[in-house]
Amino acid sequence: AASVKYLTGDGAGIKDFIDKFDTFLFDCDGVLWSGDHVFEGVPETLLLLRSKGKRIVFVTNNSTKSRQDYVKKLAGMGIEAGPDDVFGSSYSAAVYISRILKLPAGKRKVYVIGEAGVEHELASEGVPFVGGTDPSYRRDITPEDFAGLADGSLLDPEVGAVLCGLDFHVNYLKLAHGLQYLRRGARFLATNIDSTLPMHHDIFLGAGSCSVPLANAVGEQPLALGKPSQAMMDAVEGKFQLDRARTCMVGDRLNTDIKFGIEGKLGGTLHVLTGVHSKADWEAEDAVAVPAFYADKLSDLRECA
Ligand code: PLP
Ligand code: CA
């Protein structure tokens, strides 16, 4: 841990750091903003990096929003970006399903536990789906549901995968559909398995809260396609022609962002202390990932000559 370089924000260290990279992959929540509050100096810092010719990609595990939703959110915070500058866990899952998983004919549909962001990204990749925000799943389970799920009459025979993101309407009926699809051989996927969702200076249930009940029931973990999954890194690399050695991942979480960058063999990882994890987390003996650099906040990068 002693070798983690501190970017103090007062000169040369920062310039050398910035010069090492052509592309910066930015985690969003905890790095650029907290909830709906953009951190002071962040839009200016991103402008400065762009003025130095750096490419910026926003890489978020938030599955509830599509790339288009992120473009709007970024714009509202004074950060200019297009949909091609954003890579979210829902898009990552959609790309994986359409281009790598290649579900067999007759099994092409995805049963979704998740919000509209997942649906928009599946649709953008031409992947058919059921479930998701369909309001008919937002109710109590009945004795007829149990019977129809057990005999399969309530199931869509074309479902070949179950994809779990964060679903603010998760309930027994949705999970029961997921379980029956999995029991009949559907692939088990998750956009991300973040245990917690930081909001209002507290924590709430993250996307893992939707897949863990199913994982518990089937005794199998989902393939998670958000950070730190290397399926996501491969998709980012393919889309942006990344030179990994000249790319730096910037994040606030060690088990998602920093691990993502280290396992992806990027040239660098920068941990900023404005989010979930603190310095003590990588100083600990059993740290899940140790960054190459750390800074108190992203806007300290502005202090380069
Ligand atoms: N998942 C959800 C639903 C979120 O709202 C957020 C943050 O807003 C995250 C995950 C974490 O996002 P990020 O990877 O940008 O920190
Ligand atoms: Ca984050």
User: Which protein residue has the closest C-alpha to ligand 1 atom 10?
Assistant: 62
pLDDT tens-place string over residues 209-238: 999 999 999 999 999 999 999 999 999 999
Pocket lining for ligand 1, CB < 6 angstroms = 27-30, 60-62, 64, 166, 194, 197, 207
Q: Does the pLDDT at position 1 exceed 70?
A: no
Q: Residue 220 corresponds to which tokens in the numbers above? A: 């199998």
Return the ligand 1 atom nearest residue 198 CA. Answer: 7
22 is annotated as an active-site residue: yes
pLDDT tens-place string over residues 57-87: 999 999 999 999 999 999 999 999 999 999 9
Q: What spacing in Å lies between the alpha carbon of 291 and ligand 2's midpoint?
A: 15
Q: How far is CA 98 from CA 128, 158, 233, in A?
A: 10, 15, 16
User: Which protein residue has the closest C-alpha to ligand 1 atom 8?
Assistant: 29
Rounded to two decimals, the pTM is 0.93
Return the ligand 1 atom nearest residue 115 CA. Answer: 3
pLDDT tens-place string over residues 120-137: 999 999 999 999 999 999
Q: Residue 231 corresponds to which tokens in the numbers above? A: 């399926």
Q: Which residues, in sequence order, are CB contacts of 212 under 8 Å at separation 6+?
A: 193
* Catalytic option among 10, 16, 19, 22: 22
The Cα–Cα gap between 223 and 220 comes to 9
Q: Residue 8 corresponds to which tokens in the numbers above? A: 């103090």
pLDDT interval class at 2 (50, 70, 90): low
The Cα–Cα gap between 266 and 293 comes to 13
89, 194, 232, 257: residue to mutate for ligand 1 pocket, most atoms within 8 A of CB: 194
Classify residue 297 by burial, with Cβ atoms within 10 Å: 0-12, 13-18, 19+. middle
Q: What spacing in Å lies between the alpha carbon of 3 and ligand 2's midpoint?
A: 23
- Note the ligand closest to the C-alpha atom of 34: 1
Strand partners, 159: 109
The Cα–Cα gap between 133 and 127 comes to 16
pLDDT tens-place string over residues 152-193: 999 999 999 999 999 999 999 999 999 999 999 999 999 999
Q: Residue 29 corresponds to which tokens in the numbers above? A: 């929540």
Return the ligand 1 atom nearest residue 252 CA. Answer: 16
Q: What spacing in Å lies between the alpha carbon of 62 and ligand 1's midpoint?
A: 4
- Note the ligand closest to the C-alpha atom of 89: 1
Return the ligand 1 atom nearest residue 58 CA. Answer: 15
Q: What spacing in Å lies between the alpha carbon of 273 and ligand 1's midpoint?
A: 16
